[in-house]
């Protein structure tokens, strides 16, 4: 039996969420999947030292250029877990060094920049994958696969709902200062689920509001999407919803098809209804990684699932689902949503067709 070559990567950005990514890479390494993070980078020496000590990675740098110079020809990929503005420099830098790229969402601050980054990666013959993990949450994935199997026939209506009052600002205080908040930070995930379920969007409308006066951006958004195949879907997001049993961080899904309906309920229950009035109930609870903790289990498990699929795609030399060209269309929905909310009119989103 031929032993797989170890795929060597570097992590750039040692912030709050990146710890999940590092733990997932370590799990894959310990599972014998043949992948290892061999270098770290962060401009904050304290965060860098914390990650270096926690994960036992000795090669640690405060400048990405220094990292790439030190590992010239020795890296297969880089996992960029920094904030959006830094991607404009980091993605081209990695592309010039010929390494495949995983980039945190949103991978660009505008569609113009997104096009430029995709083109630069293509010209350098490196892959650009976007760390879009919501469609890899186990419960969401099971709903997507059940719909794609044809179990309820052709869908005609859907709703993806993410409503919570969880204090996301405590661990990520920069979210409270963001002028564009819920659509750009959370809505992008939920809109990606809508695309995974129902395909591309021909037009959309959107209304937003701010309930929490202590934040800068919008914390509630409601969208209606008309998909190419004639499906209508509603996407609604809130971080201002007070519930005794808060579902954070679960996305709840409804799909109506010509032969039945799907309902992804709170606490990982998937209902499959047929035209005869019968209902099959499945538990779609994620398998928690050993390091996961409530209430983050669905997201933390999805990070591991996304990275496992990325690694498999790398070995098979196939594109991942959330490659740059695909995620461009999700990013375009966010931009169209802000335009629709500002104008109170429906908007035709841009689409990758190059």
- Domain spans of the chain, in order of start: 7-131, 137-285+323-343
31-60 average pLDDT score: 98
Strand partners, 238: 163, 220
> How far is Cα 98 from Cα 37, in angstroms, rounded to an integer?
17
Residue 213's pLDDT is what? 97
CATH of 137-285+323-343, one of 3.40.50.620, 3.30.2290.10, 3.30.360.10, 3.40.50.2000: 3.30.360.10
> How far is Cα 112 from Cα 196, in angstroms, rounded to an integer?
23
- Nearest to 55, CA basis, from 6, 14, 17: 14
Q: What are phi and psi of 180, to 5 degrees?
A: -110, 110
Mind giving me the DSSP string for 313-351?
A: HHHHT---TTBHHHHHHHHHHHHHHHHHHHHTS-B----
> How far is Cα 37 from Cα 274, in angstroms, rounded to an integer?
47
Torsion sign across C-alpha atoms 173, 179, 181, 185: negative
Could you read off the pLDDT of 287-329 as tens digits, one per residue?
Answer: 999 999 999 999 999 999 999 999 999 999 999 999 999 999 9
pTM flag (> 0.85): yes
265-287 average pLDDT score: 97
Mind giving me the DSSP string for 52-80?
A: HHHHT---EES-HHHHHHHTTTT-SEEEE
Q: What are phi and psi of 204, to 5 degrees?
A: -150, 160
Q: What class does CATH assign to 7-131?
A: alpha beta
222-241 average pLDDT score: 98
Place of tokens 């991607």: 87
Take residue 271 and report the two structure tokens written for it.
């209902």
Could you read off the pLDDT of 148-167 as tens digits, one per residue?
Answer: 999 999 999 999 999 999 99
């Amino acid at each position: 039996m031929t032993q797989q070559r170890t795929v060597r990567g570097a992590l750039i950005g040692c912030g709050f969420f990146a710890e999940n990514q590092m733990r997932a890479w370590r799990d894959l390494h310990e599972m014998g999947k043949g992948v290892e993070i061999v270098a770290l980078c962060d401009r904050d020496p304290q965060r860098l030292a914390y990650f270096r000590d926690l994960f036992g990675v000795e090669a640690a740098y405060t400048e990405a250029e220094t990292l790439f110079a030190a590992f010239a020809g020795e890296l297969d990929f880089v996992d960029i877990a920094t904030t959006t503005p830094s991607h404009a420099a980091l993605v081209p830098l990695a592309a010039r060094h010929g390494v495949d790229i995983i980039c945190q969402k949103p991978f660009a601050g505008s569609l113009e920049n997104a096009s430029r980054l995709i083109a630069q990666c293509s010209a350098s013959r490196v892959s650009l994958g976007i760390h879009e993990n919501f469609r890899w949450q186990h419960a969401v994935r099971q709903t997507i696969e059940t719909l794609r199997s044809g179990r309820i026939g052709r869908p005609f209506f859907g709703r993806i709902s993410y409503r919570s009052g969880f204090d996301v600002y405590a661990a990520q205080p920069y979210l409270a200062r963001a002028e564009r908040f819920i659509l750009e930070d959370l809505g992008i995930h939920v809109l990606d689920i809508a695309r995974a379920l129902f395909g591309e969007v021909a037009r959309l409308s959107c209304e937003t509001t701010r309930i929490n006066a202590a934040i800068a951006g919008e914390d509630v958004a409601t969208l209606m999407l008309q998909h190419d195949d004639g499906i209508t879907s509603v996407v609604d997001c809130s971080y201002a919803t007070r519930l005794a049993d808060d579902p954070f961080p679960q996305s709840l899904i409804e799909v109506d098809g010509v032969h039945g309906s799907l309902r992804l309920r709170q606490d990982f229950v998937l209902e499959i209804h047929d035209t005869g009035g019968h209902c099959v109930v499945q538990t779609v609870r994620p398998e928690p990684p050993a390091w996961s903790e409530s209430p983050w289990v669905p997201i933390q498990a999805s990070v591991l699932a996304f990275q496992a699929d990325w690694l498999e795609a790398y070995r098979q030399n196939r594109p991942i689902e959330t490659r740059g060209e695909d995620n461009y269309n999700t990013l375009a929905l966010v931009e169209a949503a802000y335009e629709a909310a500002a104008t109170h009119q429906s908007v035709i989103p841009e689409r990758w067709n190059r």
